[in-house]
Amino acid sequence: MVAPLNVGIAGLGTVGADVVRLIETQGRALAERSGRGIRVVAVTARSKAKKRGLDLRGIAWAKSPEALAEDPNIDCFVELMGGAGDPALSAIETALKAGKSVVTANKALIAKHGLRLATAAEKHGGALNFEAAVGAAIPVIKTLREGLAGTSVNRVYGILNGTCNYILTRMEQEGLSFEECLKDAQRLGYAEANPSFDVDGHDTAQKLAILASLAFGTKVAESAVYVEGISSITPEDLKAAAELGYRVKLLGVAVRTAKGIEQRVHPTMVPKSSPIAQVMGVTNAVAIDGEGIPPITLVGPGAGGGATASAVVADIADVARGIRAKPFGRPVERLRDTAKAPMERHEGGYYIRLMARDLAGTAATIATRLAEQKISLESIVQRHPDGVDVNGAAKKPSPVPVILITYATSEDAVHRALAAVQRDKVISGRPQVIRIEKN
């Protein structure tokens, strides 16, 4: 009989407590699946006194994450404290240098220090598993690292932040503003008091950098991701998108182009019929385009104690079974540098919403300016101006929305065309521009 895998857990919040419970309740199944027992032998957290509803008798209490990482009784160090730096970083490094395996749900840490930690894991022979860091229980890391090991990936993209998708879903379904939906999300606990990390796209960018590394063999680097959040999106955009057969999602997209790997996070129009467009509320989804095979889409909970704990325990079971995959799929020394893609060179379709001062003249001007940049239009929608008041008298003409969908063109060309239109003074305010991603 193989000796059981001895697990130490640093961090006993919702996820940590759920992991302790799962290992307890699923003990027999885990042993059958792993070929050896898995047991929690030591834990640590900020407060020992806090009530957690856990029976921790027989489990040692380490005086610090560092002490737990050093504990010679531990085979597998599970980091569930969070935070992109110490104490998580140094404790994980200590554990890896001692030859232990590490499981973490900490996306920020992996996005920032993943390379350094993977180097330590490879050097000392331990595993570094982080399935829960992206898409919680959705097995997206395992799919990219192992399930598509024989497939050249051309694009990986997804809805990686439940808060943003919740907000966009409610804005679309109820015609509410971004601010109203954000407030509701905060009230319901879907958004933080300081929502910037979520709604400005940084959370998505960290997760995307991890996925891109696994898919394309790039060095994980949040700084290589172009980031744009959802705060500029209006209910009018969502309504226009719907009428044209699209839906707006905050996507993280990593794609192989002729100019290199492009990593970007921004509000995106996706065809309503695409699997990713069906994903509503706090649910996450990742779509993967592999060479020569139709897209694969994985949909599920992107957060939550139970879902995160499920992924953490699966990672622990992989350690127990002796699986030692390269953390980023390939040896760290083979990972390639990646630079932030210059978005002015991005090519794709665009949604453009303008407020025309005077419909007849503006349409002609816009058409001319787009043609000068060789931009072709897939569709154009001019809203009927509400030209008469309730008494039937003609009203003073007010700006009228004009909505354009372009065929694939470069972002540069779009910017040049719109700058010219603005110089022509035929529109009021700034044009709204949203990139289109086709499936």
Q: Contact residues for a second copy (CB under 8 A)?
A: 18, 22-23, 25-26, 29-30, 32-35, 131, 136-139, 142-143, 145-152, 217, 275, 278-279, 283, 290, 292-301, 304, 306-307, 309-314, 316-318, 321-326, 329-331, 334
Supply the DSSP symbol for 288.
E
What does each C-alpha distance from 24 to 54, 160, 309 come to in angstroms?
Answer: 10, 30, 13
| Closest distance to a second copy from the beta carbon of 394 (Å) | 45
Check whether 15 is labelled as a binding-site residue: yes
Q: Are 18 and 50 within 8 A, CB to CB? A: no
Q: Which of 112, 142, 207, 249 is catalytic?
A: 207
Residue 10 assigned as binding residue: yes
Does residue 259 carry a catalytic annotation?
no
**16 in a labelled binding site:** yes
Map tokens 């979520």 to a residue. 198
3-state secondary structure 5-47: EEEEEECCCHHHHHHHHHHHHCHHHHHHHHCCCEEEEEEECCC
Instruction: Tell me the CA distances in angstroms from 38 to 15, 27, 31, 65, 142, one per residue in order.
Output: 17, 7, 7, 20, 21
DSSP code of residue 218:
B
Give the residues across from 410 on adjacent strands: 347
The identity of residue 382, as a single letter, is Q
Whichever of 18 and 75 has its CB closer to a second copy, that residue is 18
Nearer to a second copy, 24 or 389 (CB): 24
Question: Closest separation between CB of residue 20 and a second copy, Å?
Answer: 12
Task: Give the residue with the Cβ less far from a second copy, 281 or 342.
Answer: 281
251 is in an annotated binding site: no
Shortest Å, Cβ 264 to a second copy:
24
Burial class for 160, CB neighbours closer than 10 Å (0-12, 13-18, 19+): buried
Q: How far is the CB of 140 from a second copy (least distance, A)?
A: 9
Compare residues 337 and 360 and give the one whose CB is closer to a second copy.
337
13 annotated as a binding-site residue: yes
**What's the rounded Cα separation, in Å, for the pair 264 and 253?**
5
Q: CB neighbours (10 Å) of residue 392?
A: 6
Annotated binding site for NADPH: 107
Q: Which residues are annotated as a binding site for NADP(+)?
A: 10-17
Catalytic residue IDs: 207
Binding-site positions read 10-17, 107, 192
